[in-house]
Amino acid sequence: MPQRFRPLSPALWILSGSIQSSALADLVGRLGTFGFEIEYATGNNAKHIKGSVSNLTNLGAQLGVIVIGRPTVDQYRKTRKVAATWSDQKVRETVMTKAYSWIYAESQPGGRVCLMFEEDVMSWARKEGVTVEETAV
């Protein structure tokens, strides 16, 4: 049975599948905890990114992934005149650089945190054979 991402809330997701509860405890003990925070349209300021880092730290995640949604990239382009003529790649790089600086200069995460864009997560999921359930936010 393929694994699925199941939303706990609009911002926090867990990976679920056909793992029995006794095996799940063993798996978590060996692999650690992974958490995902979704910044669908709110990743353009330090407050939201720092909140995501705080949530991942409170979760106790050894690896936290903050997913930047496409609307965040579009919003960045619309709200900054200089970015209006930039390529998608340059806008994404700028958003990524700013978010990483907020994470490591201001947030002081309790574990490792990486950033991914929505498109990267969807590509990764397809590559791994994981189906993603669409939910209304």
Q: What are phi and psi of 129, to 5 degrees?
A: 75, 20
Specify the pLDDT at position 6.
44
For residue 68, being part of any structural domain is answered with: yes
Tens-digit pLDDT profile for residues 60-104: 888 899 999 999 999 999 999 889 899 999 999 999 999 999 998
Specify the pLDDT at position 20.
43
Tens-digit pLDDT profile for residues 23-46: 555 555 555 678 889 998 887 888
For residue 1, being part of any structural domain is answered with: no
For residue 128, being part of any structural domain is answered with: no
Domain count, the chain: 1
Task: Tell me the C-alpha distance between 135 and 123, whole Å.
Answer: 18
CA distances from 51 to 4, 103, 105, 129 (A): 25, 10, 14, 31
Mean pLDDT of all residues in the chain? 77
Domain extent for 80:
9-14+33-120
For residue 4, being part of any structural domain is answered with: no
- Residue 69: how many CB atoms within 10 A of its CB? 19
Specify the pLDDT at position 116.
92
